[in-house]
Amino acid sequence: MRKSILFSAAASILLAGTAAAQNGADTCTMPTAIGEGSFAFNTSTMVENDNLPGCNSNLFSSSLGPFFFNKDMYWVYTATADGNLTVDTEGSSFDTQLAIHGGVDCMAICIDNNDDGGTGLLSTLTLGSINMGDQFVIQVGGYGSNSGPGILNVTLTPDPCSASNDDAFEDNDECATAVAMVNGTNTGLWLSATDHDNYRYCVGNGETLVIDALFLDDDGDIDLSLQDADCNYITGSFSISDDEHITWTNTSGADLDVVLQVFIWGSCNYYDLIVSGSGNCNGVVGTMYCDAAPNSTGAIGNIYGTGSIVAADNNFGLLAFGLPEGEFGYFLGSFGQAQINNPGGSDGNLCIGGGLAVARFLSTLGSVFGGQISGSVDLTNIPLPPTFTGMVLAGDTFYFQLWHRDGGALSGESNYTRGLEVTFQ
């Protein structure tokens, strides 16, 4: 026997309680319109059988007899973006069959079908490389005489290669245009075969640079190349599996600038970059932390320290980049860190404070030019309320961030960069 007609009654208990009730139509003449999500249905009350038989010859051989989609129902789905479409009946209580047809009604053409590709006797289908606006009729019914309550799950995974998804560190396509970076974790970075990423780090003499790039190799094989300041190869990581890793120790006897090149064998991919062991030399200091919300450019604002981390030198500055052009902002600071989402109605996250006073360096107030704002910080006169006489000393860890307008001075909209942690000597 091909399979048992009986299906575990317990499955009905597992039906997703949060799925929206959305029965499909009984015929393919006017399918029920749906988007992405999970939809509860029940085929028990359907009267018509198999109005759209185009996929039957694919699903069953003639030797099995005139099997069809029992008490089937129909939905129509319109793609909201380019990507990969997955439709399944996971969570359903009966033995399902599934077909996807290209079109909007009974004239739709069979694309693919599935019987038991999901868990147990459930069904699943994935269509790759569909385009925004494509329309599909989704047909679900039972095998043999099966029918009952079920769940239809529709998921669209956007194609990262459908358009340029430049991140906050562009334009860093070449070794010569590598962007200066500090320690920390940066998530959701994007590159393509024609848009490599290059990052510059300073590594102190005797320090060990540790780099991890995290990604799914199936979406595009990413590799790493570490180069000196003249773009000559030092070492690299070139596996054909998920993730890449580099550990390199500077034994040159002097502080060195190095460039990390991230490139891809394939169309494009997203990755997370985690770096430690850099900084505190050649004028780029600190460690970025805390998640930031994208600003009106679609990028997130980033920040690093410049100058000296020796408190007695009092020669310390800040630079923020990835910002909307022409907006104004100023730097903030605190002896504590936090992550407070949307403070005061802002679109961003406050990464400093944590119950401690927050300094507003109004002397750094300026407008974004070239996507950047910079300013110096007087470590001997930190404007911390209520005394406004704070001072940063050797051994202190201080946290910085930039607040900026986003959408014009009269818009009322604002955002924040990521946070920067600096331990002074």
Backbone angles phi, psi at 400, to 5 degrees: -125, 160
> In this predicted structure, what is the pLDDT of residue 115?
87
Q: pLDDT digit string (tens) for 293-350?
A: 888 888 788 898 988 889 999 999 999 988 999 999 999 999 999 989 999 899 999 9
> In this predicted structure, what is the pLDDT of residue 164?
64
Mean pLDDT on 275-302: 84
Residue 1 has pLDDT above 90, yes or no: no
* pLDDT band, very low/low/confident/very high, at 12 (cuts 50, 70, 90): very low
* Spatial separation of the C-alpha atoms in residues 306 and 422, rounded to whole Å: 11
Mean pLDDT on 385-404: 88
> In this predicted structure, what is the pLDDT of residue 388?
66
Residue 355 has pLDDT above 50, yes or no: yes
Mean pLDDT for all residues in the chain: 86
Q: Which domains does the chain have, with CATH numbers?
A: 9-158 (2.60.120.380), 163-281 (2.60.120.380), 283-425 (2.60.40)
> In this predicted structure, what is the pLDDT of residue 9?
38
* pLDDT band, very low/low/confident/very high, at 8 (cuts 50, 70, 90): very low
β-sheet bridge partners, residue 211: 246, 275
Q: Of the candidates 96, 134, 103, which has an alpha carbon nearest to the alpha carbon of residue 30?
A: 103
What tokens were used for 228? Answer: 């000196």
Provide the total of helices (H) and of strands (E) in the chain, helices listed first: 1, 31
> In this predicted structure, what is the pLDDT of residue 19?
63
pLDDT, greater one: 57 or 319: 319
Q: Helix (H, G, I), strand (E, B), or coil: what is residue 148?
A: coil
Alpha helices in 125-222 (DSSP H): none
Q: Of the candidates 202, 192, 162, which has an alpha carbon nearest to the alpha carbon of residue 286?
A: 202
Q: Indicate the pTM of the whole model.
A: 0.56
> In this predicted structure, what is the pLDDT of residue 92?
95
Residue recorded with tokens 């022409």: 326
Residue 152 has pLDDT above 90, yes or no: yes
> In this predicted structure, what is the pLDDT of residue 265?
86
* Spatial separation of the C-alpha atoms in residues 137 and 33, rounded to whole Å: 9
- Which letter, b or e, does each residue of 137-168 get, where b requires 16 or more Cβ atoms within 10 Å of its Cβ? bbbbbbbeebbbbbbbbbebeebbbeeebbbb
Neighbours of 251 (CB within 10 A): 10
Residue 134 has pLDDT above 50, yes or no: yes
Q: Which amino acid is at 404?
A: H
> In this predicted structure, what is the pLDDT of residue 2?
38
> In this predicted structure, what is the pLDDT of residue 54?
67
Residue 136 has pLDDT above 60, yes or no: yes
> In this predicted structure, what is the pLDDT of residue 203?
92
What tokens were used for 156? Answer: 């669209």
pLDDT, greater one: 375 or 389: 375
| pLDDT more than 90, % of the chain | 53
* Spatial separation of the C-alpha atoms in residues 85 and 157, rounded to whole Å: 7
- Which of the listed ranges 60-74, 161-175, 194-208, 387-401 does the model predict with the highest average pLDDT? 194-208
> In this predicted structure, what is the pLDDT of residue 4?
38
Give the range among 1-15, 126-140, 313-327 with minimum mean pLDDT. 1-15
> In this predicted structure, what is the pLDDT of residue 424?
93
What contacts 364, CB < 8 A, 6 or more positions away? 318, 330, 331, 373, 374, 375, 376, 377
Backbone angles phi, psi at 2, to 5 degrees: -60, -45
